Chain A
Amino acid sequence: MTTNFRELLQTLVTGNVEFIIVGGVAATAHGSARLTEDLDIVYRRRPENVARLVAALLPYDPYLRGAPPGLPFKWDQRTISNGLNFTLITALGAIDFLGEITGGGNYDDLLPHAIELQVFGLNCLCLGLERLIHVKRAAGRPKDFEAIAELEAILEERRQKP
């Protein structure tokens, strides 16, 4: 199944969810040519925001991605508050809700490093390119090496532009 990034972002923005786009979709926003299949976001862990997140996604049947069907997973405020990071599949596609990320921290830590994006007629926050490189480096995963190299090349290209 493909992920409908437009609808997912629209759902979160119209639901007044506070979030920052990170990961591969953030890389796409900055100019990456790599394919990514899920939307990774860091959400603010305040109770009112968790409530908005739950309400926004509820109509799209969020469920643990890759888990066998029938597990007692309940998409509610308690589940989110008791956990931190959630890898989910929804009717709109794959989405990862992250309470914090390695090398970047939580929403409030990342906020000073976020940029405002206008996309699909929506205003949303996306992690800035340099911070994105920083957190991917901090994660230290060999599978990210090519992605980091591309992001650094994008940074160089941008700096060369007048």
Chain B
Amino acid sequence: MKDHDATLEPDPVIEAYKKDVDRTLIRENLRLSVEERFEKLMQLQEFAEELRRAGQQARQP
């Protein structure tokens, strides 16, 4: 198995989007193990769910 393809040619549209990528978050994640990244994702999901619930509650008359 390989994690290596032919070099990706730069895409001008993607390059434009790349300027806005927060690389500090990426660097922080790359310091974590894969398992820690998954745990973080699940915590983020729970937080998003809680925010949705709170938003729904706030919209109720």
Contact = CB atoms under 8 A, between A and B. Distances in A.
Q: Size range of the interface on B? A: 20 to 34
Contact of B26 (A4, A29, A157): A157
A contact face: mostly helix, strand, loop, or mixed: helix
B14 interface: yes
B38 A158 contact: no
Given A113-B1, A134-B8, A145-B13, A33 B34 contact: no
Interface stretch (A56-64, A73-81, A83-91, A123-131): A123-131
Given A114-B1, A130-B3, A35 B22 contact: no
Contact of A33 (B17, B26, B42, B49): B26
Given A129-B3, A157-B27, 10 more contacts: A25-B38, A33-B29, A37-B45, A37-B48, A113-B3, A130-B5, A133-B8, A137-B8, A149-B14, A153-B21
